[in-house]
Amino acid sequence: MDDGKSISMPLIGDEFPSMTVKTTHGSKNLPEDYKGKWFVLFSHPGDFTPVCTTEFVGFQKRMDQFRELDTELIGLSIDQVFAHIKWTEWIHEKLGTKIEFPIIADDQGTVAKRLGMLHPGKGSNTVRAVFVVDDKGILRLILYYPQEIGRNMDEIVRIVKALRTSDEKGVATPANWPENDFLGDRVIIPPASDEDTAESRRGKEDCYDWWFCHKKLD
């Protein structure tokens, strides 16, 4: 049984572990409080640090894009809630951006240890982790960045859009979708799983071969 102390790493497809967390918006139960919604939980090394500040502004400026995808944002670091509050006040005052999403105050490191957010060579700071969780509480994607490299928020928006499109339409998305080098915004049809279907696809206009067919989204 997980005692909340050992460092572990969840796997894609796992249920997001149930936990109660303290945030700048009060106590929250994850993933229960977000049932029926997707959420992106992302950790940052520490408050009042330059790269993290640029990331928080970047996430906030894309808040409407995430909401259009019915997706909420949740930040996290091993700082006290007071530090989170003062830092977001600074961001609002100095940079003109009001942070609207909650930030978990994981000052005991409990959440970070459960989710494998701590790097053994970096002390108690959390890595730049990203967890995308769907509306059923299932972990769908994990990203890890080193502390020195800021994240690309547009890519995280793209990830959520691609996952939701795949779920809703039963398709796959190509590299850099919806701006693939030769398919553009088209999506990929699942490969044929039997000989008759494979044969029916040969020579079709929207198929490079029986295993590689594509289409416009409905």
Return the pLDDT at 49: 95
Instruction: Using the structure block, give the residue that is written with the tokens 């995280």.
Output: 156
First to last CA, the chain: 45
Report the catalytic residues. Answer: 52
**CA-to-CA separations, 2 to 46, 76, 146, 177, 206, in angstroms, rounded:** 26, 20, 26, 38, 49
The amino acid present at 63, given as its one-letter code, is M
52 half-sphere exposure, CB direction, 13 A CA radius? 24
pTM of the predicted protein model: 0.91
Domains (ranges, CATH) in the chain? Answer: 19-151 (3.40.30.10), 170-218 (3.30.1020.10)
Give the pLDDT confidence of 99-138 residue by residue, as tens digits: 999 999 999 889 988 898 886 666 667 889 999 999 999 9
Q: Which residue has the higher pLDDT, 119 or 76?
A: 76
Q: What is the CA radius of gyration of the chain?
A: 20
Counting Cβ atoms within 10 Å, is residue 119 exposed (0-12), middle (13-18) or buried (19+)? Answer: middle
At residue 2, does pLDDT exceed 90? Answer: no
